[in-house]
Structures are given as structure tokens and as C-alpha cells.
Structure 1
Amino acid sequence: MKQPVIEYPPLDYEAARQRMVDAQIRPAQVNDPRIIAAMRRVPRELALPESMREFAYADQSLPLPDGRVLTEPRVVARMLQVAAPQEGERVLVVGAGTGYLVTLASAMQEGLRIDALESDATLAAIGRALCQTFAPDVSWHAGPLSAGVPGNAPYDLILIDGAVRAIPPAIVSQCAPNGRIVAPVWPEGGVASVCIVVPTADGSATSAAFDANVPLLPELAPAPAFSFDAYA
């Protein structure tokens, strides 16, 4: 006897988005109304390959191609709250990926001048498509993440969407004297924390804002140290 085919109704992404904000974002001490409004509006499912969209509003980072992830929603929200972008600021998003963070930044504050830097063409194609509808003023740039976008520096705010062992020197040099870098920093043997990094006369100063389990950006991860022990 042939088994009946069970057809499930399509996922209501709009309802799932509102549940995400109410159940994940607001309880995470995110109280900036600009962020709440942006996260209610920007469709996270469009920042994923079509095969992954049903998981868009899960309370976790989601895998993307080439070892990348779509960062957990509450971490993105809290990063933006720490960053507190203001009208007229020039912003750089390093590792813009599929565009969710950069689109939220544009949606939460009018008048930002945002550059999105991404080295992976597949991810950038998804991000560009998302921005075309929800953040058309964002300028996308292709190139190595460690290099930043020196031609448009200095930046008042630099966001890195993924953890790093340390902020690349070129990125620090592109931060305005009174600017700030907000990024997950995961020191070797330590705990990953979203940090605020500010330029100083001697380089930069770092302060932790909150702990966050964010994977390392593969491109910005340090190369394994060479050891003769491996050949002993």
C-alpha cells in the first residue's frame, strides 16, 4: 500500500522573525529600539543559502561554505548595541559574509556610510542581493580581509563579523583616532569575547564587553606554527 505524502505548510518566516526578537534578542539585554526594529524587519533567511533558510531563526550560529558561519542573532544584536553607530559615521564591516550584520547596521541608523569587505565571492553574492533590497547604500568591496579598505579610511567604526586572535594591524591603522573597532577576540588558550578596541599612541587598547562563542574567521586565523617536533 502506497504511503500518503504528508505536506507541511510553508514556514512563516515573518512570525519566526518576531519570535526570534521576543525570545532571543530582547531577553539578552538588547534595549536599543533601533536594533529591535531592524531585527524585526531584516529577513535573516535571505542571508542564507536556500537550503539552509528553514534554520534562519535558530538560536545559534549557522554554517556557511568554506568554514564560515552566520553569527548567532543575539551576538550580532549585542555587538551592534556595543558599537552604537551614529548618523554620519563612516563604517567598515570586515568579513561581511552574506550581509546580515551590515544590513542590520544600515537599517538601524540612517546616514551611515558603510563599506562591506568580503573575500568570498559566493558569500558576497548573497550579501549583495540582500543589501540591494534592504540596504542599497552599502558599498561592497572584494579583497583580503586583513587588508581592510585603505582607500576609504579612516573609519569611525569598524565591525569584524567573526572571531580573530588579534585585530590585524592594517585594520587598526584604518580606525579614526577617536573611532572604535568592535569584534570578537579569541586569544589562544582564552575565552572569546566581543571587545572594543580603540587606537592609542602606542597601538591600541582593548576592553571586553561580553563573552561570545563565535568561531574564528578562517582567513584571519594565524597559520600553524612550524615545529621540528612534528618530524621527530
Structure 2
Amino acid sequence: MKKVVFTFIINGYDTLKDPTIVTPGWDYLCYSDEGLSSDVWQSVRSNGLPVGVTCPKRRASLLKIEHHKTLAEGYDLCITLDGSMRINVNLDDFLAEFWTSGTDMAIARHPHRNCVYDEGLEVVKQTLDDPQVVHDQLRRYEAAGYPRNQGLYGTRMMVKEMHSQRLRRACDRWSLEYRAGSRRDQLSLNYALWQEERATADPLRLQAFDFNEVYRVRKLFEIHRHLGTNRWQ
């Protein structure tokens, strides 16, 4: 099996963090708009990808959302990792504990909220995006009949099965929703998954893990503040 972990640092928003543990048999790729040096990560120029997107935050998010368009063919499994994270675990050991064969994607449950509508209000409260954009997005979801308390995921790190057509369809739908709404990518994920589940008889096989256990207690993937800010998100 050919495996890759890739991160993305656009417009100097984060510093590239070498893993404390490097797992043999994995490729480590960092997509950026400038050459970054590392003893572990292979630097890949983003070259303006995704095409037509200028906002650095959106460019970074779309690189991970559209994993099947970002990565070259030939990989069987990928881990997407935000640039604010450091790897402190053997990736094969992590998969053995948190990944089940036949899964399309593994992702963390949000540690504080279980509802996209509540998350949207928090985004506005913390001034993480334009309130008008967020409120318009939530009103659109409400008009479509999207229920409250349908779950919420944290997208800092995701494990993705590269050959899954179910996942490609879901991520294409997520990309469309993301482009139409807030630059906070987790606001559009659960709605996109809900839409996809309603549209197909073959829904996504998703595996959720505990955010606090993986990120805060065991720090298998360690969260750092973004460069030049006090923000963790």
C-alpha cells in the first residue's frame, strides 16, 4: 500500500513542523506557495492551486478537501494535516488503532459542539468570518431542511481512502458547499455529508475518533498556534 501524509502552508500562515516520529514507507509532502526546507517533508509548489481561488485560507482548505485532485495518482491512502499540527505518532500505529478496513474517511468529532448552527454562531462570535456570509449559509441550510444536532467534525486531520468513489463524490459536494459559503470548512462538511446520504443508496463509510484523546491528552497530533496570531484555529 502506498501511503502519504500531506500538509499545506499558504501565505506563510504556519511554520513547517518536522514530525517527532517519522514512519518508514510513508511519503511526507508539504504544499506551499514558497519553497520550505525540511529534513522530512518534501516541498511541493502549490503553483496557484486550486485554480481561481485567491484567499489563502480557502486555498489551503481546498487542497485537503479535494485530496483526489491535489495528489498525484498512485496513492492508496492519505492523511491530510493542517499546517498548525505536528506529528508525534507512528502513522501505522495510529491507523492500527483508529482506522478500520473498508472505511472511506476517519475524522475527529468536534470537542465542544454537535451542531452546524451552533458552530456558525461561534464562528461569528469569535469573528472568524464575515457574519453575513455565515448567516446566509445557515439560512440556506435551514431552508433546505437540514436538522439541528446532526453532528459536527473537526477537520484538522483526516484519513482518506484514495480509491473510494463514495469519498470523491462526498468531497466534490463538500467543495461546492465550501466555495459557496464560509471559509470555515467544518461549517459545510456535515451538511454536504447529509446531502450526499440523501442522494445515494451507497453512503459514505465514516469513522469518527475522539478529538480530546488524540489531540489534547495523548497529543498524537499536536496543535500549535498559527504564526503571528494567538489563534488555534
State if a TM-score over 0.5 links the two structures.
no
Larger Cα Rg: Structure 1 or Structure 2? 1
Higher relative contact order (CA 8 A, sep 6+): 2
TM-score by length of 1: 0.26
